[in-house]
């Protein structure tokens, strides 16, 4: 129940007049048609007991409410903006409203733009019984802008019929324009950071543990993790009632990585994970939309725990199955790819092959562990990863199995991590290391494929070494390296002299399983990269899927050539359909697609293979360019 003041300011004014003290000039108007003009700042006023009551009603549904003994004021802003209009400190319990036009009658509903009862204190006590209009005020908030040159009517009166006439000071001020705190966020670092706060900063909507918060007057600092690990951002040293959120992008509440309210008294604290070089946005605002922010807030960023060195306790795997402990505190590993692949919480092991051959590392015994298994040249080095597998055990969202070729005594770094960023690793898992098959030598008589004119089938097999052409034949800028993974040999003896074409242009990859990405080289000595007379990668497609290759080479009748065929890397599945074509009698070199005519189809193939190699290299100079285009146009028809 409200307690009303015992006496009004009018009594004090009467006493002052009786004692010969000059009373201040007060704004007074009982008539909406002749309101008292007011401006920015303070205007003293004193309503009289004879003033009429005014019924106020909002179309937004706050209901009907009389403003008793209402006095009228007119405010014409010079600047279009939001405004604060209040009578805090008034003599009695007040109500106030603002509208465009006068009501049709003193006791008729007056549709208003803003209405408030009881936002701030009055002089008779500490209760919030005086009134104030501002963006977000209770009742009908004065959220919209008031427009320059437009006159607005303000009615101020008492709470009830028996309330004494209101007096006090009508205060009007312009709300400063909002501050875009994401435009120039503070750069944060480990330690204590000073974050400026602004009364007109925006509100951040963010989900904190299932509760949707409107974080008021939010400022931001950007923090770039100096290493991969866990960090704590908090405002625990202060007394301001804050809400803190760690975001993936500034101002975007849906990108929340963590949020906190009242984790340490009225302060906030969030523990979050970040990888080295990752930048997060830390937003700090007020719990109360009506609270006035301090000039600054201290935001501390600390290590949640010392960074973990994933290579400090690397363990050894041996042939057979073993149970290994896993540490969820290990950092993530980013493997460069298109797009990049992130393996989370990677634990590292080494495996040394006792003999040359194909080996398998798997976590298949742990069906519930959604793992990724990788092989790398060095611990915690994404760029040294040569192979990885996800879900290779046949369970979608489950364990993984990786196979690779190793020389005898060769040591490999094995990484075991998680597919998901949010799920913890199991405390332990079973890792099996298995010898699958012995090494196969590409030039052993039993392994050589006898080539024929037409189609030749080449299967891929991890048991074959790669053929490295580095320093002998370049596969071009698109190749990334000059190796033919799991290289097989086709032995071909030319029956006629002239230009021969070898390639797998007819291969397709409709399921996108990296089946047809072949590389081809022609050698004069089996397995000897120094004897290469030509090589190609993607010559059929010029760097586009399915990445098939084609090579034109000059052969001499009766001479044997060794055609090496391999994959871009060990993940290429094959098999390849490798076609060998002899030179046709009087075949026109500009007839690239070998259909008997030089036309638009050949032009399209040449342009699609621009700066590439293959049959579109009409003049056989090693590159498809303007010289080849000129020859094609000269042979058109």
Q: pLDDT (tens digit, 9 = 90+) per residue, 389-437?
A: 999 999 999 999 999 999 999 999 999 999 987 677 899 999 999 999 9
Question: Which of residues 244, 275, 303 is at a domain's end?
Answer: 303
**pLDDT computed for residue 25 by the predictor:** 60
Residues in the chain: 637
The CB density around residue 367, as the number of other CB atoms within 10 Å, is 13
* Final residue before a domain boundary, out of 273, 303, 333: 303
| Structural domains of the chain, count | 5
What is the spatial distance between Cα 343 and Cα 277, in angstroms, rounded to a whole number?
16
Is the pTM above the cut of 0.85? no
| Domain match, 541 and 607 both | no
Instruction: For residues 388 and 478, state if they share a domain.
Output: no
Bridge partner list, 259: 245
State how far the Cα of 218 lies from the Cα of 210, in Å rounded to an integer: 20
Query: Do both 165 and 249 map to the same domain?
Result: no
Distance in angstroms (rounded) separating the CA atoms of residues 485 and 499: 27
Identify whether residues 213 and 296 lie together within a single domain: yes
Tokens coding 62: 């706050």
Instruction: Determine how many CB atoms are found less than 10 A away from the CB of residue 399.
Output: 27
Is 95 domain-assigned? Answer: yes
Residues contacting 523, CB < 8 A, separation 6+ = 529, 531, 532, 533, 561, 562, 563, 564
Residues of the chain with pLDDT under 50: 1-24, 59-62
Give the sign of the dihedral formed by CA 472, CA 473, CA 478, CA 479.
negative
CATH of the domain at 624: 1.10.1330.10
Q: Are residues 525 and 602 in the same domain?
A: no
Q: Do 352 and 273 lie in a common domain?
A: no
The residue behind tokens 């590409």 is 442
Domain boundary among 536, 554, 581: 581
Q: Is 543 left (phi over 0), alpha (psi -120 to 50) or beta?
A: left
Looking up residue 123, the CATH number of its domain turns out to be: 2.60.120
Measured over the CA atoms of residue 116, residue 122, residue 124 and residue 127, the dihedral's sign is: positive
CA distances from 346 to 30, 331, 622 (A): 78, 6, 44
Q: What is the pLDDT of residue 218?
A: 95
633 and 529 both lie in a single domain: no
Task: Tell whether 379 is covered by a domain.
Answer: yes
State the pLDDT at residue 57.
66
pLDDT, residue 477, reads 55
* Residue 118 is assigned to a structural domain of this protein: yes
Same domain, 369 and 502: no
Domain membership flag for residue 43: yes
Same domain as 291, residue 412: no
pLDDT, tens only, 447-485: 999 999 999 999 999 999 999 999 999 887 555 689 999
Task: Give pLDDT, residue 18.
Answer: 36
524, 549, 557: which is closest to 458 by C-alpha? 549
| Domain annotation covers residue 618 | yes
Q: Residue 411 is inside which H or E element, if any?
A: strand 411-418
Angle between helical axes of 626-634 and 600-608 (0-180°, round to 10): 180
Q: Which helix (H) or strand (E) holds 602?
A: helix 600-608
Same domain, 576 and 596: no
Shared-domain flag, residues 425 and 551 = no
For residue 286, whether the previous peptide bond is cis, meaning omega lies within 30 degrees of 0, is no
512 in a domain, yes or no?
yes
Enclosing domain of residue 415: 315-437
CA dihedral 416, 420, 422, 425 (to 10 degrees): -30
- Residue showing tokens 């009166």: 157
> Given CA atoms 502, 460, 541, 627 in this order, what sign does their dihedral have?
negative
Q: Is 637 helix (H, G, I), strand (E, B) or coil?
A: coil
Q: Quick one: pLDDT at residue 338? A: 80
Domain membership of residue 180 (yes or no) is no
Handedness of CA 425, 429, 434, 436 (dihedral sign): negative
Strand partners, 281: 222, 247
How many CB atoms are closer than 10 A to CB 194? 11
């Amino acid at each position: 129940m409200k307690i009303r003041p015992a006496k009004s300011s009018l009594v004090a004014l009467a006493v002052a007049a009786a004692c010969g003290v000059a009373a201040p000039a007060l704004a007074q108007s009982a008539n909406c048609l002749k309101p008292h003009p007011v401006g920015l700042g303070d205007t003293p006023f004193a309503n009289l007991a004879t003033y009429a009551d005014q019924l106020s009603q909002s179309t937004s549904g706050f209901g009907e409410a009389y403003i008793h003994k209402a006095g009228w004021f007119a405010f014409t802003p010079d600047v279009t903006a939001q405004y604060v209009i209040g009578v805090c400190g008034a003599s009695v319990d007040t109500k106030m409203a603002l509208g465009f036009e006068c009501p049709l009658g003193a006791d008729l509903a007056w549709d208003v733009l803003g209405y408030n009862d009881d936002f701030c204190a009055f002089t008779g006590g500490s209760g919030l019984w005086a009134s104030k209009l501002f963006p977000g005020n209770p009742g009908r908030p004065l959220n919209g802008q008031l427009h320059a040159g437009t006159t607005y009517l303000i009615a101020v009166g008492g709470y009830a019929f028996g309330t004494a006439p209101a007096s006090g000071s009508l205060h009007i001020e312009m709300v400063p324009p909002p501050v875009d705190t994401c435009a120039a966020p503070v750069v944060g670092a480990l330690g204590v950071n000073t974050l400026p706060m602004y009364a007109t900063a925006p509100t951040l909507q963010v989900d904190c543990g299932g509760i949707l918060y409107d974080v008021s007057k939010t400022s931001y600092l950007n923090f770039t993790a100096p290493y991969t690990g866990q960090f704590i951002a908090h405002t625990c040293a202060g007394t301001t009632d804050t809400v803190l959120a760690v975001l993936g992008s500034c101002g975007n509440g849906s990108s929340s990585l963590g949020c906190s309210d009242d984790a340490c008294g009225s302060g906030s604290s969030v523990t979050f994970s970040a990888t080295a070089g990752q930048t997060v946005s830390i937003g700090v605002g007020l719990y109360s939309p009506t609270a006035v922010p301090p000039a600054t807030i201290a935001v501390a960023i600390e290590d949640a725990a010392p960074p973990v060195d994933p290579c400090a306790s690397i363990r050894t795997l041996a042939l057979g199955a073993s149970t290994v402990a896993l540490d969820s505190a290990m950092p993530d590993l980013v493997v460069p790819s298109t797009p990049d692949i992130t393996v989370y919480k990677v634990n590292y092991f080494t495996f040394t092959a006792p003999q040359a051959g194909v080996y398998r590392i798997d976590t298949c015994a742990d069906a519930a562990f959604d793992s990724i298994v990788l092989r790398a040249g060095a611990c915690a080095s994404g760029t040294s990863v040569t192979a990885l597998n996800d879900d290779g055990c046949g369970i979608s969202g489950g364990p993984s199995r990786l196979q690779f070729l190793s020389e005898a005594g060769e040591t490999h770094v094995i990484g075991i991590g998680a597919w998901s960023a949010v799920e913890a690793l199991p405390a332990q898992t079973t890792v099996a290391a298995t010898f699958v098959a012995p090494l196969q030598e590409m030039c052993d008589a039993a392994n050589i494929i006898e080539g024929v004119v037409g189609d030749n089938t080449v299967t891929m097999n991890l048991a074959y070494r790669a053929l490295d052409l580095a320093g002998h034949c370049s596969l071009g800028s698109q190749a990334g390296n000059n190796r033919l993974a799991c290289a097989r040999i086709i032995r071909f003896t030319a029956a006629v002299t002239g230009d021969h074409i070898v390639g797998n242009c007819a291969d397709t990859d409709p399921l996108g399983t990296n089946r047809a990405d072949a590389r081809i080289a022609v050698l004069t000595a089996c397995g000897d990269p120094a004897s290469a007379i030509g090589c190609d990668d993607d010559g059929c497609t010029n760097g586009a899927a399915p990445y098939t290759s084609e090579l034109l080479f000059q052969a001499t009748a009766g001479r044997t050539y060794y055609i090496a065929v391999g994959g871009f890397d060990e993940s290429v599945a094959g098999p390849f359909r490798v076609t060998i074509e002899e030179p046709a009698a009087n075949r026109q070199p500009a007839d690239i697609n070998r259909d008997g005519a030089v036309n638009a189809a050949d032009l399209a193939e040449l342009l699609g293979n621009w700066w590439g190699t293959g049959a579109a290299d009409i003049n056989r100079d090693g590159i498809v360019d303007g010289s080849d285009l000129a020859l094609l146009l000269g042979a058109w028809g």
